[in-house]
């Protein structure tokens, strides 16, 4: 069971990395458009990714938090900082999930599948926001982007620029 839970997390994590690696540099400044077609006052994509990392980081327990960076509120980190942050928070979540699933009978917290489901739902919501903001802003993703996010679930492990 532990291996299956961790494999689901790793595939999900690969999707975040794929998206981070494939957004053109100028795309990180994109914001969603309003119905009027004007840019919203919402977060840039850089800030959306920073928020995603902050939520992941908030679920990493203290014992696994060492080396997991924290961005200041409102920060707009670049791709390399985001990749390093996602790598660290992803590893911390993986360690926490393993601990929860392995020690579940002795723990009072909810099961690892609930945490896994929450994190996947949260990141997926923001990935949708990101792709919509890119499309509305005229930022072109690679042609394979239409299906690449879904194909991660059915393809053999893909090579992404993970550390």
pLDDT digits (tens, 9 = 90+) for 92-112: 999 999 988 877 655 556 667
Q: How many CB atoms lie within 10 A of CB 132?
A: 13
Query: Mind listing the domains of the chain with CATH numbers?
Result: 2-151 (1.20.120.450)
Q: What is the pLDDT of residue 162?
A: 46
Q: Span 34-52, mean pLDDT?
A: 85
Q: What is the largest CA-CA distance in the chain?
A: 54
State the pLDDT at residue 113: 82
**153 Cβ contact list (under 8 Å, min separation 6):** 11
Question: Is residue 48 a contact partner of residue 126, using CB atoms and an 8 Å limit?
Answer: yes
pLDDT average, residue stretch 28-38: 82
Judged on CB neighbours under 10 Å (0-12, 13-18, 19+), 91 is middle
Measured CA to CA in angstroms, residue 158 lies from 71, 86, 90, 127 at distances of 28, 17, 17, 19
Query: Residue 42: its pLDDT value, please?
Result: 81
Q: What is the pLDDT of residues 5-29, one digit of tens each?
A: 899 999 999 999 989 999 999 999 9
Judge whether residue 143 has pLDDT over 60: yes
**pLDDT score of 84:** 96
155 pLDDT more than 80: no
Whether the predicted pLDDT of 144 surpasses 90: no
């Amino acid at each position: 069971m532990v291996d299956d839970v961790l494999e689901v997390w790793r595939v999900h994590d690969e999707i975040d990395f794929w998206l981070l690696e494939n957004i053109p540099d100028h795309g990180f400044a994109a914001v969603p458009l309003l119905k009027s077609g004007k840019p919203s006052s919402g977060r840039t994509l850089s800030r959306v990714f920073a928020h995603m990392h902050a939520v992941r980081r908030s679920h990493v327990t203290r014992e696994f938090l060492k080396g997991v960076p924290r961005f200041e509120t409102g920060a707009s980190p670049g791709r390399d900082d985001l990749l390093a942050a996602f790598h660290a928070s992803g590893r911390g979540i993986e360690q926490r999930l393993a601990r929860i699933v392995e020690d579940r009978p002795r723990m009072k917290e909810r099961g690892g599948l609930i945490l896994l489901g929450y994190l996947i739902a949260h990141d997926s919501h923001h990935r949708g926001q990101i792709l919509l903001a890119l499309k509305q802003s005229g930022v072109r993703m690679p042609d394979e982007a239409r299906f690449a996010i879904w194909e991660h679930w059915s393809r053999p492990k893909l090579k992404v620029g993970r550390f």
